Chain A
Amino acid sequence: MAEARRVFIHAVATVTPPAPLTHDPDNDLGALAKQVLGQRLRQASHFIELATIGARLCLNRAGATAPDMAVYVGTALGEVRKTDALFQQVFPPGTGMAAPFDFINATANMAAFYVARLAGASARNLTVTQGLGSFEGALQLGFDDVRAGAVDRALVGGVDENCFPRTAYVRRWPLRDDEVMGEGSAWLYLTHAEPGALAELLSVQRLRAPLDTAGLDHIVCGAQLGAADTGVLTGLNPGATLHHYIERCGSYPTAAGFGVAGQLEGQPARGQWAHVNRDIDGTLLLVRWRVG
């Protein structure tokens, strides 16, 4: 086994719907799609546009597209709106017939296909889902593959869409009454080359062990990180700065992608960073990176 390579983040991008998040943003991506992609995608869904806009922004910032770039997408719920549309079409009082493109789009990997197609990337292409850990699952795949030399370039995204009314959404994903229903698309472009990198990605971990992460300068708090966890972390990392972001993107299962990429979109402070969250079963989800 060859020596593991270091993995660097070269570009990031995030897309969230414009505020207020409580209104139906069904058409809000149109202008953004024309601006970023140069066109609306024919027959594509809101979910696919959400993914492709974010991915294109990230690649534009990286200044890179390559046929050998691998694409990894993490999504907990996939096509929520098209799946709902299919239920209405197929079951009474619907006609019983699924609309062809709604069915095609409801295939969970279709966003990854469009991302690859727009980028001309015909290499590895994986879509994974694992609840709150879906983004971290995709990031783990990309990180491991670059690290092991299986791929040289990886575009990793976390994407989930919401639906309206809120009562329809909470059938699919539990939200507390005080949580704002969000959605978003966040992307990281990874390579093994260091020059020009925004940060070095150090690890992606899913831990059943107690929270004992030390040596951090910045702690990005995931939506499920409780006050007790925060207390432990600040005790272990005195002087570390806590960062909260859910109020900016709303709550959605792959918001961790926004939490990681969003910190790197501005001028991030130097030091050791970690995004910390908990899955529903209590498992720790930890992403660590270093700036500077």
Chain B
Amino acid sequence: MNSVRIRGYGIVSTYGAGVAPLVAGLRRGTAEPGVLSDPAVAALAGVKVSALPPQMFRFDVDGSLAMVLAAAGEALAQAGVQQPLGDCAVLCGANTLALAEHSDSDHRRVHGSGRAPLIPHPGELAERVAYAFGATGPVLTFSTACSSSANALLHARALILRGQVTRALVFGIESLAMITLSGFNSLMLLDAEGCRPFDAGREGFQPGEGAAALLLEAQGSGARVLGGANLCDIHHVTSANPDGSGMARSMRAALADAGVAAGEIVAIKAHATASRENDAAEATAMRTVFGDKLPPFTALKRYLGHTSCACGAVETVAMLAALDAGFVPPAAGFVHADPALGCGPLTQAQPAAAGAYLLNYFGFGGNYASVVVAHG
């Protein structure tokens, strides 16, 4: 047995707090702006923040932590797991720049000017979540750009399979920050019209924010994480090798680790940032791995925005939520096929067949993660 179960999941997304509004949005097939109107989520599920020890929250419960607690609370409720979590790892994928900026802006809001006297270190969020839910296992924050929380998910599987923990809570968090917005803008990676994955007119993505959490255990019900891979495409700091070799290697390694043949994949959730070069590389990579039997593939960033370090958790939860609701969502934002790609994503929802699904997460620094999950 090399798989672990995703016993529960939860999310705060552009559609609001919880899985239900997300599924409704994905079913409508309509795109959202990607940015939350109020990141300090009003409805916190599963935990009473006011009951938490104040010394653990010296900067109060900010929007990031509130989102994570809401998503994690929903995941625990779905799994039917009681708190304290005990022998449970807490593994996070988070944007350290955004956390730093929010800490600073909180200080400015309170004090009017200046910089924060101390900012929490980037790993502190995971420690607070572990404390809040009574988790006593390893706590670690993965910081590998857009593959961060996918790598956290793969590490959770390894910890459980090796018998090092009973369960693992994995989460990803991304909140909009001026620095990341300005940075992506300066790299000309933002599309004012929104993300158009694999579209002939694609120019980049729209920024997103949100949080998602998954609770993993060895046994029980829920989708199975069959395997996955993390590796480095050393071609360039921000661009994939245009021949798609790095991405293809990631997908092949994930399939091998999962013990799944390419022909068994029901559908693919592409990373699909809608940048001209990276979508082209991903399309080439998929055609390399699957040949003329390329399964249907979709892309989720027009729905959710690009949630960066959190997208490994956010898009995994979104995909699982849609599959549990019985469908594979189409790639919102895709209208005009790009002949240069030789393939195009789903334009209509299709029924979710039982079987293995491949999920891709490709980040800056050539950090690639591919995950294979079995559903149904």
Contacts and interface: CB of A to CB of B under 8 A. Distances in A.
A195 B233 CA distance: 31
A126 interface: yes
A107 B118 contact: no
A1 B161 contact: yes
Nearest to A106: B97
B123 A134 contact: yes
A113 B366 contact: yes
Given A86-B183, A173-B121, A253-B121, A120 B127 contact: no
B121 A128 contact: no
B179 A122 contact: no
Interface in A32-82: 71, 75-78
Interface string B148-189: 000100010010011110000000000000111011111100
**Which of B119, B143, B363 has most A Cβ within 10 Å?**
B143
Contacts of B186: 97-100, 103
B124 A122 contact: no
Nearest to A140: B138
B119 A122 contact: no
Nearest to A137: B140
B246 interface: yes
B364 interface: yes
A148 interface: yes
Given A96-B182, A128-B141, A171-B119, A78 B96 contact: yes
A104 B179 contact: no
**Which of A91, A144, A150 has most B Cβ within 10 Å?**
A91
B237 A104 contact: yes
Nearest to A132: B121
B145 interface: yes
Given A110-B237, A129-B141, A150-B158, A123 B231 contact: yes
A113 B116 CA distance: 30
Interface string B49-92: 00000000000000000000000000000000000000000000
B238 interface: yes
B42 interface: no
**Which of A97, A124, A281 has most B Cβ within 10 Å?**
A124
B234 interface: yes
Contacts of A86: 97, 179, 182-183
A270 interface: no
Contacts of B151: 126
B132 to A, nearest CB: 14
B127 A131 contact: yes
A281 B100 CA distance: 21
B127 A128 contact: no
A166 interface: no
A120 B237 CA distance: 14
Interface string B204-244: 00000000000000000000000000111110011000000
Contacts of B142: 126-128
A108 interface: yes
Contacts of A104: 183, 187, 237-238, 364
A30 B121 CA distance: 28
A117 B234 contact: yes
A118 B293 CA distance: 36
A112 interface: yes
Given A86-B97, A98-B183, A122-B231, A1 B124 contact: no
A124 B231 contact: yes
Nearest to B105: A91
Contacts of A235: none
A98 B179 contact: yes
A95 to B, nearest CB: 9
A87 B104 contact: yes
Contact of B364 (A78, A107, A126, A281): A107
Interface string B87-124: 00000000011001100100000000001111101111
Given A98-B186, A109-B367, A113-B367, A172 B119 contact: yes
B141 A1 contact: no
Contacts of A11: none
Contacts of B104: 87
Contacts of B246: 122
Interface in A196-230: 206, 208
B139 interface: yes
B144 interface: yes
Nearest to B137: A206
B126 interface: yes
A124 B234 contact: no
A173 B178 CA distance: 23
A140 B164 CA distance: 12
A121 interface: yes
Interface in B288-317: none
**Which of B144, B158, B184, B365 has most A Cβ within 10 Å?**
B365
**Which of A77, A108, A127, A208 has most B Cβ within 10 Å?**
A108
For the complex of A and B, the 6 pairs showing the least CB-CB separation, nearest first, are A103-B183, A113-B365, A125-B232, A108-B143, A130-B123, A98-B182
Given A98-B179, A123-B231, A125-B231, 20 more contacts: A1-B162, A78-B122, A83-B97, A86-B182, A87-B104, A98-B185, A100-B186, A109-B364, A117-B232, A117-B234, A124-B230, A124-B231, A126-B144, A128-B142, A129-B121, A129-B122, A134-B123, A148-B162, A170-B118, A172-B121
22 contacts: A77-B121, A87-B101, A87-B104, A89-B182, A97-B186, A103-B183, A103-B184, A103-B186, A107-B97, A108-B96, A110-B364, A112-B365, A121-B234, A122-B249, A127-B144, A129-B121, A130-B127, A130-B139, A130-B140, A140-B138, A144-B164, A145-B158
